[in-house]
Amino acid sequence: MEDKNIQQQPSDVIDLRLIIKKCWENRRLYYKVLAVTFVVSCIFIIGFPRTYTTELTLAPELGNSMANGTLGSIASSFGIDLGAMETTDAITPLLYPDLIEDNGFVANLFPVKVKSLDGEINTTYHDYLQKHQKTSWWFYPFREIIRLFKPSPQPGSGQFDPYNLSKDDDGIAKAIRSNVNISVDKVSAVISIRATAQDPLICRTIADSVKEHIQAAITDYRTRKARNDYEYYLALTAEAKQEYERARQLYAGLSDANTKVVLRSVELKLEDMENDMQLKFNAYTAMNTQLQAAKAKVQERTPAFTVIKGAEVPVKASGPKRMLFVLLMLVLATAGTTFYVVKRFPDQKGQ
């Protein structure tokens, strides 16, 4: 019984030499399969348009003493960002990537002017994504069929609402979200903006535009309360100034009209008007002081952004990886052909 088990063991062992021999005997099949695979893969991947990607990095101002100290350095070594934890802002740098999910932020990119590297395209980013996107040659028939059955656009209300987009605009917004990527380093809070487009100059233009819109959005948020306070004190200062000037004119007019009059009642009235004018001047001075403080607060709350690495026009395309795709197809074809050869032509030794 043991002898039978020993005799059956070799049949369960994979003989690599036998497999290599079978592959070599069927080498003509490999030549045909690999040649066809190479040609078909090249035709298929060449049909896809080239895309270009650029990236820029931006460092926002945090202004947290604890994050900049020794404790912050120790926490950074463990991957903890004390700057984002200590700040009192509701929007921390860790939330900046979520801005791209807001329709209002994405809609601000619709009217951005873009121009292709060869100068043939000069339009808005919305129009570029809608009318100037290249597609694979084999997709053209399907696109024409879709266009035939596509319903005509309904007339809008005339007022654009980023939170009530049409089907076409919603598709443009999704395309922008797939072409723009915003990420933040949790340790250093450095913002990375990556933009992809079918033209190298347009992808750099979009990266710079996203950077400017992020700066504007964060600046607007951080200075909103300070700007409201400034506008409030500006109105109060203007009102106090008008009251003071009115009281001064009344006092000057009464004083000029009674220059030679020595009546006690006139003197008392002039004193009352002078006191009232002084009170209004003090109020105007106080409001002006508050106005200057609010103006300084706006400047203090305005964040500073430092561009660490600017966006550049890419020289090489980022995709599709044509050589890698063809190589992968050849590897899969080789593996599939080997499996076919081994199963189609079994070992005849045991028969």
Q: Looking at residue 142, what is its pLDDT?
A: 66
Question: How many distinct helices (H) and strands (E) make up the chain?
Answer: 13, 6
Q: Looking at residue 122, what is its pLDDT?
A: 94
Q: Which tokens sit at 282?
A: 């003090």
CA distance 138 to 152: 25
Q: Which tokens sit at 90?
A: 């509701």
Cβ-contact 106, 176 below 8 angstroms: yes
Beta strands in the chain (DSSP E): 52-60, 113-115, 122-124, 180-184, 191-197, 305-309
Q: Looking at residue 14, what is its pLDDT?
A: 66
Show the CA angle centred on residue 340, arms to residues 36 and 7, nearest 5°. Answer: 155
Q: Looking at residue 150, what is its pLDDT?
A: 60
Q: Looking at residue 7, what is its pLDDT?
A: 46
CA distance 176 to 169: 11
Counted residue by residue, the chain has a size of: 351
The end-to-end CA distance of the chain, in Å, is: 22
Per residue of the chain (351 residues), give pLDDT as tens.
444 444 444 455 667 788 888 888 888 999 999 999 999 998 888 888 999 999 999 988 765 544 444 445 544 554 545 454 455 565 677 778 888 999 999 999 999 999 999 999 999 999 999 999 888 776 766 666 666 666 655 555 567 888 998 888 999 999 999 999 999 988 888 899 999 999 999 999 999 999 999 999 888 888 888 899 999 999 999 999 999 999 888 888 777 676 665 666 777 887 888 888 889 999 999 999 999 999 999 888 888 888 999 999 999 988 888 899 999 999 999 999 988 888 876 654 433
Q: Looking at residue 91, what is its pLDDT?
A: 66
Q: Strand, helix or coil at 54?
A: strand
Taken in order 188, 311, 108, 170, the sign of the CA dihedral is negative
Q: Looking at residue 253, what is its pLDDT?
A: 79
Q: Looking at residue 124, what is its pLDDT?
A: 95
Element (H, E) at 344: helix 322-344
Q: Strand, helix or coil at 169?
A: helix
Q: Looking at residue 39, what is its pLDDT?
A: 92
